[in-house]
Amino acid sequence: MEPSRLGKHVLLRASKKLRFKIGLVIVVVMVAMAILAPYIAPYPDEGLGRVPLDGEGRRLLPPSPQHLLGTDTLGRDLLSRIMFAARAALMQSTIVIALSLVIGLVVGSFAAYFKGFVESVLTYLTELFMAVPSLVIALFIRLATNTPGYHVVIVSLTLTWWAWYARISYVYAKGIVELDYVVLAKLAGLHPLKIVGRHILRVIFQPMAVQAISDLGSALLEASAINFMGLGLPRDYPDWGVILFEGLRELSVIAFIRAPWLVVFPGLFILITTLGFALLADPLREELDPRLSRRWRLWF
């Protein structure tokens, strides 16, 4: 499919906004950090988890020119750890959102197009999955498989996340299925799959994609929460949630007094990345649906 000019237009208009630029810079920096971590990290080995030989003497050093963000409980450079952790963070949230988007789009548009039995089954299913908290599912998966790893985070988050996309795309699609071009295509005997693909999915994809971009941050938050609880990635894995958790586990609440950098910096990175995705997606959404941005101008 050739790039739609509507999409380009939206991108162009949004890119003029300061928020979009800030968001873009944050996201680009994070992605670059994740990709280039082995080359730009000051102590790449330590970033991957190797404890330095003189680790004993370097435990919990405060930020200094040698260790810009200080060292952790095993004496490793925190900045290197955080740089490598960006990989895990971006990977988890991207995979979760992409899977959820695909499932949600398909379920939502099918529910809206095939009315009656299919619609009620799919909407009930959607509501069922919306009701389950991802942390509980993560706990179950962790206990059932008994191995920590990416699968716990991705499966548990996708299972709960797709339902939101299914709900939103269902609502979007519901407004489209009654339009003339869908009804006429249906009456003319076009294959239902073709109608859904050509006339429904295609139309709802753009707003859904923007929604997905802004949700990348929220998915990162949730993934970090699961990792923080120790349910997802294994101990010592470079991930912001895991690093945060380890800081707190070793030192409990005293961490905030004895080594605040250990909990503050990973948390800060989670926060900034989430913010970056939100800043990036918000102007896009406004441009895609101009009523959102123009409404307040009418009011004042």
Partner 1 sequence: MVLAVKAEGVKIGYIDEEDRVQWAVRGVDLEIGSGDSFCIVGESGSGKTTLANAIAGILPPHAIIQGRLIIDGKLVLDNGRLDFNGVRGRIVSYIPQNPGTSLNPFMTVEEHFYYILRDTKSLSRREARRIALESLMKVGLDQSVLEMYPHELSGGMQQRVTIAIAIASRPKIIIADEPTSSVDANLRAGILKLLNRLNRELGLTLIMVTHDIYSAAAVCNKVAVMLVGKIVEMGEVKALLYDPRHPYTRILLNCVPVLGVKKPLKPLVGEPPRLYSDIKHCPFLDRCPFAVETCKVEPLLEPVDEKRDHVVRCWRFKELKSVEL
For 77, the 3-state DSSP assignment is strand
Binding range to partner 1, per CB under 8 A, among 4-12, 151-159, 238-246, 271-279 = 4-12
Nearer to partner 1, 106 or 278 (CB): 106
| Coil vs helix vs strand at 90 | helix
Q: Which of 203, 269, 282, 245 is nearest to 72 (CA)?
A: 245
4 binds partner 1 (CB under 8 A): yes
97: Cβ contacts below 8 Å, ≥ 6 apart: 161, 212, 215, 216, 219
Closest CA to 85 of 219, 237, 204: 237
Measured distance CA(286)–CA(20) in Å, rounded: 11
Q: How many residues bind partner 1 (CB under 8 A)?
A: 16
Q: Give whichever of 3 and 65 is closer to partner 1, judged by the CB atom.
A: 3
Q: Cβ of 147: how many Cβ atoms within 10 Å? A: 10
Residue 4 or 145 having the CB closest to partner 1:
4
Identify the three-state secondary structure at position 195: helix
Minimum CB distance to partner 1 smaller for 143 or for 179 = 179
CA distance 147 to 213: 30
Give the nearer residue to partner 1 in terms of CB position, either 53 or 187. 187
C-beta of 3: minimal distance to partner 1 in Å? 12
| Cβ atoms 247, 262 nearer than 8 A | yes
- Residue 85 CB, shortest distance to partner 1, in Å, is 39
Is residue 25 a contact point for partner 1 (CB under 8 A)?
Answer: no
- Minimum Å gap between C-beta 168 and partner 1 is 17
CB of 187 to partner 1, least distance (A): 4
User: Cβ(135)–Cβ(223) under 8 Å?
Assistant: no
What residue type is 11 in one-letter code? L
Q: b/e string for 44-55 if b means 16 or more Cβ within 10 A?
A: bebbbeeebeeb
Q: Is 116 in the site for partner 1 (CB under 8 A)?
A: no
Please, which residues bridge with residue 77 across strands? 71
Q: Restricting to residues 200-259, which ones interact with partner 1 according to CB under 8 A?
A: 202-203, 206
Given a contact cutoff of 8 angstroms between Cβ atoms, the answer to whether 18 and 52 are in contact is no
**Identity of the residue, 175 or 234, whose beta carbon is nearer to partner 1 in the bound complex:** 175
Residue closer to partner 1 (CB basis): 4 or 66: 4
Q: What span, in angstroms and rounded, lies between the C-alpha atoms of 24 and 30? A: 10
Residue 57 is which amino acid?
Answer: G
- Which residues 172-211 are close enough to bind partner 1 by CB under 8 A? 179-181, 184, 187-190, 198-199, 202-203, 206
Tell me the closest approach of the beta carbon of residue 118 to partner 1, in angstroms: 16
Residue 198 beta carbon to partner 1: minimum distance, rounded to whole angstroms: 7
Query: Please, which residue, 191 or 249, has the CB nearer to partner 1?
Result: 191
* Cβ 289 to partner 1 shortest distance, Å: 13
Give least dist CB 9 to partner 1, A: 10
Q: Which residues bind partner 1 (CB under 8 A)?
A: 4-6, 179-181, 184, 187-190, 198-199, 202-203, 206
